[in-house]
């Protein structure tokens, strides 16, 4: 879906790109600046980092802006006290890696997740214990926390996790896979918009603590929710409705011993791929496990029988962060790039934005065999050997979606991607980023009846291109705004003129949905 509308939403709302970032980078063993657009130096917050390929020394490293001395870090897979090492320093638009460390090993793929302090999103608080059995600690979320993670920093101590779905009497342990434990850790008091309560377990006299607070905001502009679902043990698992599409999730079974699951769309979370990290372990990233948790325009659904996500009758808690809202782009180069090249396979193409749709046109040969669309929501390969994520549809063909076992592109990160199979030939690549008032991608399943499809473009689309992915011999219907109010459309894969097909009905699309009729 595409739009030329440049109207902007209110500047008063909280934009997720200002307070949260998943940023992938490759360690260089030397100094490195990570520019993710988050003001940590001025606003404060947390950076969570993990080497994706290391295991024996691949700890989950957390560095926040409030602990002293500056640069002290914690490991979520360990009960160790905070270490003073100066892992990173904070900038107004990201952070700086001063040298070789466990999160900057030369050649190693590494992930970082940045949480900026902001009302209704995230806060980080430190305090010194006084031994009280019911002590109220102030925070600045402005709403009741949906989840809290508390850790003693001056000595060993467990990572105690509160989640609103479990109530104030129960807790999870971040460095462990055990089920919830019944405890008075939070003083049997539900946190509110200004304070949370700890008992003497997390308030030992003279001990120092840090608390990471995640909001729960169900308003239309909210960007984070903390909720739960009940597993059904089926590959057609539960559907969770958030009202928006998630980009980052932390999931744990509360009622059984099962691994934590840390997932995000940048590393691979789609209809065909799921890449896992577990905060309780130093293990390397689990390779592509296929479709297990699938993001959708209004939430996510479980497509796995894994005990970590969907055992029958078990309760699962989650923290979910929204993909948008983003600011409406003011520069075409921030959301679109065209690259003509005959560079070899493995060459890095820089777009300076994360790519959500990539196309390739072979300029010297038969278009029908080489014009392809690949997008992040259906699955983009994370490395040169990730062949199962490479889902291809060809614009000149009526064939169903196929898996390209020699990916045209791979290693999609925050600034570009690499040329895959077919390198060295004369190609033209078009790269698009999903953004309000510009472009969106939606996957949906047919119901053999007229229905609406939810999108997140933020304005009424002016161009809609649809392809049936599972049935061969189906065309590429196209609706354009000049057809509004009619039942006309045309086909992307033919030269035929427009006709009264009824594919999109006579109902014009809106800023939230478009309508399709009963057709293949």
Per run of 10 residues, the mean pLDDT along the chain (length 520 residues) is 58 87 96 97 97 90 92 95 88 93 92 98 97 95 98 97 96 97 89 96 96 97 97 97 97 98 96 95 93 96 97 98 92 96 94 95 68 91 85 90 86 93 87 96 92 95 95 92 91 90 93 90
CA distance 198 to 160: 11
User: What is this structure's pTM?
Assistant: 0.95
**How does pLDDT run across 18-54, given as a tens digit for each residue?**
999 999 999 999 999 999 999 999 999 999 999 999 8
pLDDT at 368: 45
CB 197 within 8 A of CB 187: yes
pLDDT at 86: 74
Q: Which residues contact 274 (CB under 8 A, 6 or more apart)?
A: 263, 268, 288, 289, 290, 291, 292, 293, 304
**How does pLDDT run across 465-479, given as a tens digit for each residue?**
999 999 999 999 999
Among residues 44, 76, 52, the alpha carbon closest in space to that of 62 is found at: 76
Here the tokens at position 360 are 């390739």
Q: To which residue do tokens 């879906």 refer?
A: 1
pLDDT at 382: 87
Here the tokens at position 93 are 């638009």
Here the tokens at position 331 are 């520069």
Helix %, strand %, coil % for the chain, to 5? 5, 35, 60
| DSSP code per residue over 67-122 | SSSTTEEEETT--PPPEE----EEETTEEEE-S--TT--TT-EEEEEEEE-BTTTE
């Amino acid at each position: 879906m595409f739009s030329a509308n440049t109207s902007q939403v209110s500047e008063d709302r909280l934009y997720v790109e200002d307070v949260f970032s998943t940023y992938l980078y490759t360690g260089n063993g030397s100094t490195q600046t990570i520019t993710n657009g988050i003001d940590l130096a001025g606003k404060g917050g947390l950076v969570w980092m993990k080497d994706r390929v290391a295991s024996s020394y691949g700890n989950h490293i957390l560095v926040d802006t409030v602990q002293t001395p500056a640069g002290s870090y914690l490991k979520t897979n360990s009960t160790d006290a905070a270490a003073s090492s100066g892992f990173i320093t904070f900038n107004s638009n990201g952070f700086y890696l001063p040298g070789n460390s466990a999160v900057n090993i030369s050649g190693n793929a590494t992930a970082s997740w940045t949480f900026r302090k902001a009302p209704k999103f995230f806060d980080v608080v430190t305090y010194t214990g006084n031994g009280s059995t019911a002590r109220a600690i102030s925070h600045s979320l402005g709403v009741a926390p949906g989840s809290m993670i508390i850790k003693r920093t001056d000595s060993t101590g467990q990572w105690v996790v509160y989640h609103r779905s479990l109530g104030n009497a129960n807790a999870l342990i971040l460095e462990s896979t055990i089920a919830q434990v019944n405890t008075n850790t939070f003083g049997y008091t539900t946190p509110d918009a200004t304070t949370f309560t700890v008992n003497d377990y997390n308030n030992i006299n003279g001990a120092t603590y840090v608390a990471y607070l995640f909001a729960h905001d169900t308003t239309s502009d909210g960007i984070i929710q903390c909720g739960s679902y009940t597993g059904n043990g089926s590959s057609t698992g539960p559907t969770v409705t958030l009202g928006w599409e998630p980009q980052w999730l932390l999931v744990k079974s509360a009622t059984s011993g099962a691994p934590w699951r840390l997932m995000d769309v940048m590393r691979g979370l789609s209809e065909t791929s799921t890449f896992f990290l577990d905060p309780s372990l130093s293990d390397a990233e689990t390779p592509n496990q296929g479709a297990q948790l699938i993001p959708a325009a209004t939430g996510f659904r479980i497509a796995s029988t894994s005990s970590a996500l969907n055992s029958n009758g078990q309760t699962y808690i989650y923290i979910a962060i929204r993909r948008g809202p983003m600011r409406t782009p003011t520069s075409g180069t921030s959301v679109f790039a065209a690259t003509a090249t005959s560079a070899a396979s493995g060459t890095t193409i820089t777009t300076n934005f994360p790519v959500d749709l990539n196309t390739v046109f072979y300029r010297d040969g038969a278009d029908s065999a080489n014009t392809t669309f690949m997008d992040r929501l259906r699955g983009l390969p994370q490395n040169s050997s990730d062949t199962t994520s490479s889902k291809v549809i060809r614009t000149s063909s009526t064939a169903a979606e196929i898996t390209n076992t020699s990916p045209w592109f791979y290693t999609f990160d925050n600034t570009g991607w690499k040329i895959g199979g077919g390198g060295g030939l004369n190609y033209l690549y078009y790269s698009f980023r999903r953004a309000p008032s510009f472009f969106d991608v939606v996957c949906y399943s047919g119901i053999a009846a007229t229905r609406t499809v939810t999108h997140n473009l933020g304005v009424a689309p002016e161009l809609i291109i649809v392809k049936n992915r599972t049935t061969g011999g189906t065309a590429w219907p196209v609706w354009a705004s000049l057809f509004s109010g009619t039942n006309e459309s045309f086909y992307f894969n033919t030269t035929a003129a427009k006709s009264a097909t009824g594919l999109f009905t006579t109902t014009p699309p809106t800023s939230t949905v478009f309508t399709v009729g009963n057709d293949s």
